[in-house]
Every structure is written in structure tokens, then in C-alpha cells.
Structure 1
Amino acid sequence: MAVRQSQARRAEIVRLAKSSGLASVEDLSVLFGVTPSTIRRDLGQLTTEGLLARTYGGAIALDAHPESSIRQRALEGFEAKRAIAKWAASQVLPGETVLLDAGTTVGAMGEFLRDATRLTVITAGLTALEELADANDVRVECLGGTLRHLSQGFVGPLAESSLARVSFDRAFLGADAVTADRGICEAELEQTRLKELMIERAGEVYVLAHAAKLGQRPFHAWAPLPPGVTLVTDSSATDEQLRPFTDAGIAVVTV
């Protein structure tokens, strides 16, 4: 009986999330007459099954919440992203050639690299290009390709062809989400294919993702995490979020 009740409750949670786009832990707890911890377990199970994506204080239906634009994402976790970007930029040495992926967190690195010396930056993102456009001692190369307006990044065969002709000391990758078992999650396969090629061409690989993205599965395109990758996140990440990564042998830096 308890199992059937749980299944019925979870099915109703999915229905409600699809109709409204958002399910709140507090509202669902009152509606179903169960504790918030029970609802959190339900949401965790539905997230694992790929039916919902977790948010702070609740969950969203995947098909009710399309990919957000880069302008929307720029407002999410602003201070955390800036701290991550600052630490990542501090790893870059004079004279290196580095790759900056598209995305708000990686793009924010441009601010901290403007005064770098003898640096070559290759990028697939307009955010980094804008930040470094007038940095006198930074050579900037753009991969080119097809512009994804939502992410303000270049993808496609032209971008992939450009990657075949370059290599990097370090690659800094963004992510819509990241898990220890599946890797980097993105909205489209073109994005994950490009990240795989970036990883192949880099000496050191860093994935920059603030805590809200850890363990999430909002989409169905994946790029596996390579051996030796470093995950860089912010200090709000919990031990529960970080444990799967450390257990998998992935180096984790919190800032």
C-alpha cells in the first residue's frame, strides 16, 4: 500500500510540475500531507529517473523549463561564478595557450585575464571575446562556426574543424550540469561533441560549475569526464554533492 501511495504521489508531482513548471517542497508537503523530507526523497527519485530537475527549494519539469538564455544565466549565482572564474584565471601562466568555452562562468574569466602577458586565448564564446577584445597583450582566436543564440557560443562542423588545428595548455569548460557518472550535461549533442574535442586537445582540463549544477540532469546530451579533470565549484556545495566526484577520483576545488 505504501509503495502504491508513493508512486501515485510522485506521478501527481510530475503532473503538477508540468502544468505549472515548478514544484515547491513546502507547497507539495502541505498538499499531500507528508513531511518535507518525504517530498525531497520523492523529488530525488524523480530526478534520478530523469522526470524532473532539482532546483533550490523544489524541482522543475524538464519539458516545462526550456534552456535559459545566457542573459538569464548571468544573474544566477553571480558571486559564486565570479569566484570560480577568478580562481580558474589564477591557474593560467604567462605564455600559455588556453581555451575558454562558451558560458557565463568561463566567460567571466576574461575579466581576470585582461592583464595577462604573452597569453593566447582560443574561445568558442562571445562573452570571453567581449571581455578580451581590447586586452593588448592577449592574442585572441575565435573557433567560429554556427552561433547558438541561447548560449552565445559557436558549435558545428566549422568549430570542430578549427579544433583539429590547435591544442591548448589548459581548457576551461562550462556546463549546464555535471554528474560524476555521466559527465557534462548540455542541451544539444553539438555542444557535447565540441567539448569532447576540446578535451582531446588540452593538457589540463577544468570544468567550472557552481553548486546548483552539481548532480543535475536537465538534458540528455553528455560529454564524459576525462581522467585527471578538475571540477571547480563554489563553497556552497555540500559534502553530499561533492562525494560522488571524489569517490570517482575526480579532483575537486571549492572556492
Structure 2
Amino acid sequence: MTLAIHANELDTPVPDQPAVHTLRLLTLNTHKGFTSFNRKFILPELREAVRELSTDIVFLQEVLGTHKRHASRHANWPETPQYEFLADSMWTQYSYGRNAVYPHGDHGNALLSKYPIISYQNLDVSIGKIEQRGLLHSILRVPGQRELHAICCHLGLRESHRRQQLKLLCELLQSIPENDPVIVAGDFNDWRRNADDILASCGMEEAFVSCTGAPARSFPARWPFLCLDRVYLRNATAHNPKVLSDKPWSHLSDHAPLAVEIRL
């Protein structure tokens, strides 16, 4: 496992603000801004849909940093990285963990936040050379709270790889101060539901399971029946979890987004 650290320190003091006890969270595999089977580039429509939710923190997977070939083929391709385009003026803070690099560009995980990101790091948890995967660990400063740890992940397609990646995730969780609130969200590709028991050993509880007794069905977006996307919490509670599978979400990615209210 390699560790890439990216400085994003905030030197400007944050003015006194009322304590925040509730956060609205969204996690989404953006499918690089394309509809299922890459039929249409719909990142501008996706941005408008995300903005309408007024979410505080957005976890993104499969978001492009650059892609020269796509940029030359699509007239509405943004001039900025996709995560920056999605953040626009709604989320003044963002972090990006580049996982896969290829001749025409790169993609990875990203976090958009309305609250200051003190620092972030991207942990390479790739197993072998076929799939490049990472854990984007961002530390947020939320008024009136301890440091909030937000970990955006996209695990591998092979079960043996996922088990090793979950072990690495547990090692990361064990390094975080035990009283700090932690959110882990993203695409786990865990259709066998092995992650719940593994992460429970690190004090993590899945949001949909704790509220409804069952994980969210999020894939494929139009007829969700596989439970691939998850939200895990520690030192926080989940409320009103929702799978956004209706229009327009059903055609904006191959995954349906998950929305959860988090209370600290």
C-alpha cells in the first residue's frame, strides 16, 4: 500500500459560527459523467440535480480529473476537472484522490464540502495491476464539533480484493481518534454484504441497515436490486436515508445516489 498526501491546509481562521449538529450527505458513483453504457454525456444535468438537494457533503466515485479525448468529442465538456465543475459555487471545499491514470486522463474519488477541509490524503489500496482503487480520507472542520473524518471509497470487483481493501480500511479507521465522528461512504461493490461484519469490528454501523433493517438497493439505477453503495458511521447517527432512484436520477448514472441525514 502506498500513501499519497496532498496538502490542503487552511491558514485563515474560521470565524465563530453556531454549532452544527446535522449534516446532509450524498454519495454517488458518477460513471465519469455518462449515462449507462456511456450513451450520453450528462454531467451538466447531474450538476443541476445535485445542486437542488442542497447537500452539505457529497462523496463521488468514478469522477474524472482530466480526459483529453472526451474533451475533444463533447462540446459541453467542462474546462475544469469534473469534481470542480460539480462543486461550482455550492461547495467551496473539495478534495480529489487520483486512482487510475491512463494516456488520455485520470479518474478517482472526490469529496465536496460546505465546511472547511483541514487536510486530505489518498491511500492506494489497489490489489494487483488490473484495478486501481483508493481511499480518499478528508478531515473536515465542522463548527462546534470535533474533527469530522470523511472517507470516500470505491472497492474492487473481485471479492478477494475487496476483503484485502476492507482490511486496509479497518487499519485506517483504527488510526483515527476513537471519539471523532467518522463517515465512510461510496461504492463498495459488495453484493455479498461482507463489509457490514468486517467494519462492525471497527465500530462502524451501516446507515440504511440501522434505520430500515436492510441495505440500500442502488444498482442498476433504473431498476435497483443490488446493494453496492453504502454509508457507514461511527460516533454519529443516521436519519431519513433515501435511495434516489426516480427521475431524473434514474438516467444520470448507472448507480442510484444515496442521501442520508447525519446527526453528530
Fold match (TM-score > 0.5): no
Q: Which has the higher strand share?
A: 2
TM-score by length of 2: 0.34
Q: Which has the higher helix share?
A: 1
Greater gyration radius: 1
TM-score by length of 1: 0.35
Relative contact order: is structure 1 or structure 2 higher (C-alpha 8 Å, sep ≥ 6)?
A: 2
